[in-house]
Amino acid sequence: MKSYLRPYVGKLVLIWLVAVLSIAASIVMPLIGKDVVDGPVRSGDSGALLPLGLLALGVGTAEAVLIFLRRWTQVGPVLGLETRIRDDLYAHLQRLPMAFHGEWQSGQLLSRATTDLSTIRRFLGFGMLFLVMNVLQLTTVTVLLLNMYWPLGLLVAASAVPIVLVSMRFEKRYIKISRQVQDEQGDLATLVEESAIGIRTIKAFGRRHHVYDRYDDAALKVYRTSMDKVRLSARFFTFLEVIPNFTLALVLLLGALAVGSGALTLGTLVAFTTMMLQLVWPIASLGYILAMAQESMTSADRVMEVMDTVPAIQGGTAVIENPRGHLRFEGVEFRFPGAEQPVLRDVWLDVRPGETIAIVGATGSGKTTLTAMVPRLVDPTAGRVTIDGHDVRDLTLPALRQVVATAFEEPTLFSMSVRENLTLGRHDATEEELEDAIRTAQAMFVHDLPWGLDTRIGEQGMSLSGGQRQRLALARAVLNRPRILVLDDTLSALDVETEALVEQALRHVLRDATGIVVAHRASTVLLADKVALLSGGTITHVGRHHELLAEVPAYRELLAQDADLDPSEGALR
């Protein structure tokens, strides 16, 4: 927090200075009025009227100017703070690993980046100043009152005791409830997000009402908690208004008695009560401001929760000068947090530079997890992955991820231009390189799009066909000219003819690069020089496709379409 405020120290000092001055001005204004009434008017001295009147005009103008100065100067620091925290939050989120993002719904993250930050901004821009000023005003007036007639002053000061006590109790409960509201709103945002991203599925099943009901439940929850919050603050706010009024009545009673007994003059009592009336509003508004302070505190907590998460995956310092792409898995084990069984255990695999290896395994056997370890989207829980003898954890992340490029099983596209989607990580790609990559992935269809490469593709590429999306993702990986190319079942949505064309082109790319090809089909396996069979969480066999097909029944089971050929099962076999 401090570091965010540092650049604005000068301005902050100015703001506070101006704020205090403007308060002073606002106190002086009524005093001048009093002077006019008590002075010139009573004494009939018309000469003194003009200077006092002009003074009032001057002070009044000064007050307005001071307020303007304060508000205007505030804009920079307050917004600067908010904007910088948001930037940093975003940067931090981009650093946090997949494991974090798998657990956190974007709705929850989003509500931190927007709602929470603006709550903090509002408090800093408005609440904090008022809080301090209110407290200042309260103490000043109380001191004045004590000076005026201490027994009554003491009574007023004593009325602060219940206020403080109740405020403290209120605060505790308010923190809890406002946190609850904020969290529930985050959940609501998550539901909104799911309902928007999953709209196709919802429509396909006609589950509008079902989804609505889920949302409605959550919205009602927010409603109920908010109502609790309203009730709580209503009680507190009311309490804050009642106390000064009761004190006032008491002061009047005791004051009258004091006047009766001659301990106090009538004039002083009048002055006393008038001044006390000035206390009512600051105390009443205290409730609102305290609530605001609480809320912004909760918001800060929520933001810090994310900011304080240390990225579990951080880059090392080494850089490979001329990577050859020798990839080794050495006794790798992977266990998802909280899982009893590891998904992968004792995986040993050696892929020499330029070699391509296919990974074959049943659905859910851990192929994707295995490939994700190379660019360190996840880290093994035991063992290590090395490239050219360097543990991947020793390499800087940009250096590592420059060596490895992955075409994921789900294309993961963005609603940006085709070009931007392709050059995701390589902004310096030339037109020729782009064209090469497009041709390799047989993605020439992009030129037929209405604006060619500049066409914006829908969210997650949804304005493209499934095969088109996959080919874009493939072109993107190829464009990176990686030393190690990982293809995670990337040809599954292509028709046989296109697949053959892509494979042919890929062979060229894979000739120079080390390749890992996750495959469910024999056709894709043939891209590779060797095949590794992943079974029971570890690699049981490595060899050539035909050898394995002949020797390993488990492999035949997985890949051969005609493994248990049953002639009655259709005409196509």
Partner 1 sequence: MSADATTSTGTADDTAASETTGTTEGTTGTAVADWRGVASEEQDELSEKVSVLLRARSRRLLGDLLSPHRRAIALLTGIIVVSNAAGLAIPYLVKVGIDAGIPPMLKGSGPATLLTVIGVILAAAVTQALTRQAFLQLSGKIGQGILLELRRRVFDHFQRLSLSFHEKYTSGRVISRLTSDIEAIAELLQSGFDSLVTAVLTLFGTAVLLLVLDVHLGLVALLPLPVLLLVTRWFRRQSAIVYRRTRETVALVIVHFVESMTGIRAVQAFRREPRNQEIFTRLNDDYRGANARSMQLVALFTPGIKLIGNLTVGGVLLYGGWLALHGEVTVGVLAAFLLYLRQFYEPMQEISQFYNTLQSAGAALEKLSGVLEEEPSVPEPREPEPLAEPRGEVRFERVRFAYVEEMPILPGLDLTIPAGQSVALVGATGAGKTTLAKLISRFYDPTGGRVLLDGVDLRRLDEATLRSAVVMVTQENFLFSGTVADNIRFGRPEATDRQVREAARAIGAHDFIAALPDGYDTEVGKRGGRMSAGQRQLVAFARAFLADPAVLILDEATSSLDVPSERLVQRALRTILADRTALIIAHRLSTVEIADRVLVMDRGEIVEDGAPDRLIAASGRFAGLHRAWLESLS
User: Which position has the token pair 């919050």?
Assistant: 229
* Pick 40 or 361: Cβ nearer Mg ion: 361
- Which parts of 316-375 interact with partner 1 (CB under 8 A)? 336, 339-340, 361-364, 366-368, 375
Tell me: does residue 463 bind ligand ATP (CB under 6 A).
yes
Give me the residues that bind Mg ion (CB under 5 A), please: 368
Per-position x/- string for 12-41, each x denoting binding to partner 1 as judged by CB under 8 A, each - no binding: -----------------xx-xx--xx--xx
245 binds partner 1 (CB under 8 A): yes
Nearest approach, Cβ of 329 to partner 1 (angstroms)?
18
Strand extents, DSSP E, 49-134: none
Amino acid at position 135, single letter: V
The answer to whether 219 contacts partner 1 (rule: CB under 8 A) is yes
- Out of partner 1, Mg ion, ligand ATP, none, what residue 358 binds, judged by CB under 5 to 8 A for its kind, is none
Q: Which of the stretches 105-113, 335-343, 350-358, 546-554 binds ligand ATP when contact is defined by CB under 6 A?
A: 335-343
Segment contacting partner 1 (CB under 8 A): 155-163, 263-271, 432-440, 535-543? 263-271
Please identify, using beta-carbon distances, which residue of 74 and 142 lies nearer to partner 1: 74
Site string for partner 1, 525-554 (x = CB under 8 A): ------------------------------
CA distances from 148 to 88, 153, 254, 267, 420 (A): 53, 8, 15, 11, 73
431: enclosing H helix or E strand: helix 431-440
Q: Are 488 and 406 in contact (CB under 8 A)?
A: yes
* Separation of alpha carbons 406 and 412, rounded Å: 11
Instruction: Tell me if 242 sits within 8 A of 250, measured CB to CB.
Output: no
Assess 60 for contact with partner 1 (CB under 8 A).
yes
Query: Given candidates 8, 19, 107, 303, which one binds partner 1 under the rule CB under 8 A?
Result: 107
Site for ligand ATP in 349-408 (CB under 6 A): 361, 363-369
Q: Which of 556, 440, 554 is nearest to 505 (CA)?
A: 440
* Smallest distance, partner 1 to C-beta of residue 92, A: 11
Q: Which two tokens stand for residue 27?
A: 């106190």
Q: CB pairs under 8 A, 24+ apart, for 506-511?
A: 506/440, 506/478, 508/440, 509/440, 509/478, 509/485, 510/356, 510/485, 511/354
Name the segment binding ligand ATP (CB under 6 A); options: 184-192, 199-207, 295-303, 465-473. Answer: 465-473
Applying CB under 6 A, the site for ligand ATP has a residue count of 21
Residue with tokens 């409960």: 173
Segment contacting ligand ATP (CB under 6 A): 29-37, 210-218, 460-468, 504-512? 460-468
Q: Tell me the closest approach of the beta carbon of residue 409 to Mg ion, in angstroms.
A: 5
Asked if 98 interacts with partner 1 (CB under 8 A), we say yes
Q: What is the distance between the alpha carbons of residues 113 and 307, in angstroms, rounded to a whole number?
A: 11
Site mask for partner 1 (CB under 8 A), range 384-413, x = bound: -------------xx--xx-xxx-xxx-xx
Q: Are 502 and 443 a contacting pair, CB within 8 Å?
A: no
Q: Is 418 in the site for partner 1 (CB under 8 A)?
A: yes
Among 33, 58, 102, 553, binds ligand ATP (CB under 6 A): 102
The least CB distance from residue 452 to partner 1, in Å, is 9
Options 464, 485, 528, 531; binder of ligand ATP; rule CB under 6 A: 464
- Strand duo 514-518 + 356-361: pairing: parallel
Give the integer Cα–Cα distance in Å for 489 and 343: 19
Computed from CA positions of residues 541, 544, 550, 556, in that sequence, does the dihedral angle turn out positive or negative? positive
Stretch that binds ligand ATP, among 78-86, 217-225, 384-392, 457-465 (CB under 6 A): 457-465
Question: Does 466 engage in binding with partner 1 (CB under 8 A)?
Answer: yes
CA 19 → CA 65, 120, 487, 489, distances in Å? 11, 20, 63, 64
> For residue 567, what are its two tokens?
């002639």
State whether residue 384 is helix, strand or coil: strand
512 CB-near residues (< 8 Å, 6+ apart): 354
Q: Is 314 in the site for partner 1 (CB under 8 A)?
A: no
Residues 6+ apart with CB under 8 A from 416: 456, 457
Rounded to whole angstroms, the maximal C-alpha distance in the chain is 122
The footprint of ligand ATP (CB under 6 A) covers 102, 336, 339, 343, 361, 363-369, 409, 458, 463-468, 493
